[in-house]
Structure 1
Amino acid sequence: MDFTPNLASGSAVLAAQPFSAWIGAELEGFEPGRAVLALNLRPELHQQHGFAHGGVLCYLADNALTFAGGSVLGPAVVTSELKVNYLRPAQGERLVAEATVLSSGRSQAVVRCDIHVLEGGSRKLCAAAQGTITLLTQPAPQA
């Protein structure tokens, strides 16, 4: 299978994910070894104290890690392990997750992701994640 990671191919994959479409995620960058995923914060994505819900940050980390890993392994990948450190409450207008492949082999990649919150021109690191992305051994079921 010929697969070239670029913004057009990545955006098509993101558009095929019903949850990503519902939450409003946008792919801002996709190239070999790197992916950038962003999301505008809106009230229904907050927890009771007005911060972005941790699940929203985890979603961004998971998907950005998987896109970055898939950029070196191919499109048929899944997250097999994920760890997120929440560093500060995410309050702002937009979340941006940037994932970079640290190491990859034939069937898995270890990827790091930093999530920043943007507000009024400032950019603050609010979470850091690392995960293992694994190549599927059999094709994923088609929807």
Structure 2
Amino acid sequence: MNDMEARIRASFDRQSMMRTLGATLTAVAPGQVTISAPILPGALQQHGAGHAGLTFSIGDSAAGYAALSLMPETAEVMTVEMKINLMSPALGESLIAEGRVIRPGRRILVVAADVWAVTGASRKHVAMLQGTMIPV
């Protein structure tokens, strides 16, 4: 594990929200991060699908950590704004959020994430996020 990955994993481990959701950091590369989370009984909406809050939380974190992976060691990032398109109900066993940096900049970073619902070996694209991160 390199220094960048160790820094991202240590930061992720400090996020109590990700622990509450049962989320795990499954892949880290420069400009790309993947987070997975089970669709737990406590994270369902009234129709039995994974709640949009779960989808947004892991998508935002995946995109944010993708941005952080390109920042200097002493930097942190925060979300300035994030848009989500919910394209399909999050039905399945778990969700996978694949975050990436669209445009790295000195003052802002444009990021995106795709969220997939997983059942067995099949995946369904359920959401797209796009937003802006700022170094702090």
Which TM-score band applies after superposition, normalised by the shorter structure? over 0.9
Give 1:81 shift: 0.8
The 5 A counterparts of 1:39-118 are 39-74=37-72, 75-118=75-118
Identity of aligned residues (%): 34
Give 1:43 shift: 1.0
Which consecutive residues of structure 1, in runs of 5 or more, have no partner in the other structure? 137-143
Q: Secondary structure at the match of 1:52?
A: coil
In the aligned structure 1, how far is the partner of 2:67 from the partner of 2:85? 19
Aligned to 1:31: 29
Aligned to 1:131: 131
Aligned to 1:5: 4
TM-score computed with the length of structure 2 as normaliser: 0.92
In the aligned structure 2, how far is the partner of 1:42 from the partner of 1:86? 19
RMSD over aligned Cα atoms: 1.4
Contact 1:73 1:109 in 2 (8 A): no
May I ask how many residue pairs the two structures share in their alignment?
Answer: 133
Give 1:71 shift: 1.0
TM-score computed with the length of structure 1 as normaliser: 0.88
Contact 1:65 1:100 in 2 (8 A): yes
Give 1:106 shift: 1.2
Give 1:73 shift: 2.4
Q: Deviations over 1:66-117 (max 9, x none)?
A: 1011111244110001000000000101100001111011122101110001
Q: Secondary structure at the match of 1:5?
A: helix
Contact 1:73 1:108 in 2 (8 A): no
